[in-house]
A and B are shown apart, each in its own frame.
Chain A
Amino acid sequence: MRETVMNIVLQGLKSICADSDIRLDSPGTATVLYGPGGLLDSIGIVALVAEIEQLVSRDLGRSVTLADDRSMSMKHSPFATVGALVDYILTLTGEKL
Chain B
Amino acid sequence: MSRVVLVTGTSRGIGCGLAQHFLDQGCKVAGCSRGGSSITHPSYTHFQLDVSDETAVLAMVRAVLETHGTIDVLLNNAGIASMNHLTLTPYASARKIFDTNFFGSFLFLRESAKAMIREKAGRIVNFTSVAMPLSLEGEAMYAASKAAVESLTRIASKELAPFGITVNAVGPCPVSTDLVAGVPEAKMQALLLRQAIHRYAGIDDVTNVVDFFVSEKSAFVTGQIVYLGGVGG
Contacts and interface: CB of A to CB of B under 8 A. Distances in A.
A54 B114 CA distance: 9
Contacts of A87: none
Given A43-B162, A57-B65, A50 B58 contact: no
Interface residues on B, range: 10 to 19
Nearest to A66: B114
A7 interface: no
A63 interface: yes
Given A43-B162, A47-B163, A54 B115 contact: yes
Contacts of A51: 118
B118 A50 contact: yes
Contacts of A47: 117-118, 163
Interface residues on A, range: 10 to 19
B114 A50 contact: yes
A47 B162 CA distance: 10
A63 B62 contact: yes
* Binding site secondary structure of chain A: helix
Nearest to A57: B62
B196 interface: no
B40 to A, nearest CB: 28
B162 A63 contact: no
Interface in B169-224: none
A35 to B, nearest CB: 20
A58 B199 CA distance: 49
A57 B4 CA distance: 19
Contacts of A24: none
A53 B162 contact: no
Nearest to A53: B114
B134 interface: no
A51 B163 CA distance: 13
Interface in A49-84: 49-51, 53-54, 57, 63, 65
A65 B59 CA distance: 12
A65 B58 contact: yes
Nearest to B118: A50
A50 B162 CA distance: 14
Contact of B65 (A43, A46, A49, A54): A54
A55 B136 CA distance: 46
24 contacts: A43-B162, A46-B117, A46-B163, A47-B117, A47-B118, A47-B163, A49-B114, A50-B113, A50-B114, A50-B115, A50-B117, A50-B118, A51-B118, A53-B114, A54-B65, A54-B114, A54-B115, A54-B118, A57-B62, A57-B65, A63-B58, A63-B59, A63-B62, A65-B58
Interface of A: 43, 46-47, 49-51, 53-54, 57, 63, 65
Q: Closest 6 CB pairs between A and B? A: A50-B114, A50-B117, A63-B58, A63-B62, A43-B162, A50-B118
Interface of B: 58-59, 62, 65, 113-115, 117-118, 162-163
Given A47-B118, A50-B115, A65-B58, 4 more contacts: A46-B117, A46-B163, A47-B163, A50-B113
